[in-house]
A and B are shown apart, each in its own frame.
Chain A
Amino acid sequence: DAGVTQSPTHLIKTRGQQVTLRCSPKSGHDTVSWYQQALGQGPQFIFQYYEEEERQRGNFPDRFSGHQFPNYSSELNVNALLLGDSALYLCASSLGGPRETQYFGPGTRLLVL
């Protein structure tokens, strides 16, 4: 049973660039949530997608956007990268709707120089 997978595992970008991170949910799961984890801190909720719509959003600027595809996979896009966007980006999936238990992937580590 495949777990949550994320790509790429590591990424280096420069300030002002744009980045796209990808997430494939656990087999059968239909909901995807994205979190940002800065070094030494707990994960912070960015947004959640269910039925290809953004269901809830955390306190992140519009530079952070996302998408969910019909096969339930998801992308996180960040525009105009800042040094402070350097973090571990985590994807979590759940089955049966936004309130169900979330299972996390290994994350994508983004470094902005």
Chain B
Amino acid sequence: DAKTTQPPSMDCAEGRAANLPCNHSTISGNEYVYWYRQIHSQGPQYIIHGLKNNETNEMASLIITEDRKSSTLILPHATLRDTAVYYCIVRPDNKLVFGAGTILRVKS
């Protein structure tokens, strides 16, 4: 399974953009990049996914580098409710393989 590397934690000021990086240098050509987040003791929440092109939805934007070896999740205007563990996942097949994720703390 392709491995992802994320910083263990990040801080962000409320109202500012949160940029969460992820390295996935061993990604294969047909593997999607997924982002989920998990607020304490709740089930993971789907955020966004992509293959090659940048993607945007109502929650976030996903920027994937041209060589697909890294990506960045962007929360454009972080709020206190965005404080959570963010997981970057390279999906090899039917399952999702979760790593340790990044703890994002949004501070007022």
CB-defined contacts of B108 to chain A, threshold 8 Å:
none
| Total interface residues in chain B, CB < 8 Å | 19
- With an 8 Å Cβ cutoff, the count of chain A residues facing the other chain is 25
Q: Report the nearest A residue to B34, measured CB to CB.
A: A101
Indicate whether B45 reaches chain A with its CB closer than 8 angstroms.
yes
Chain A contacts for B45, CB-based, 8 A: 104
B43 & A102 in contact (Cβ 8 Å cutoff): no
Chain B nearest CB from A93 CB (Å) reads 11
A56 touches B94 (CB 8 A): yes
From B42, B94, B96, B100, give the contact of A106 (CB < 8 A): B42
Instruction: Check A43–B96 contact: CB distance below 8 A.
Output: yes
Checking B34, B41, B44, B49 against A43 with a beta-carbon cut-off of 8 angstroms, the contacting residue is B44
| Also in contact, A42 and B49, with CB within 8 A (given A88-B41, A90-B43, A104-B44) | no
14 further A-B pairs in the complex, CB-CB below 8 A; given A48-B95, A90-B44, A99-B94? A4-B43, A35-B98, A42-B99, A42-B101, A43-B96, A58-B95, A88-B41, A92-B96, A101-B34, A104-B36, A104-B43, A104-B44, A106-B42, A106-B43
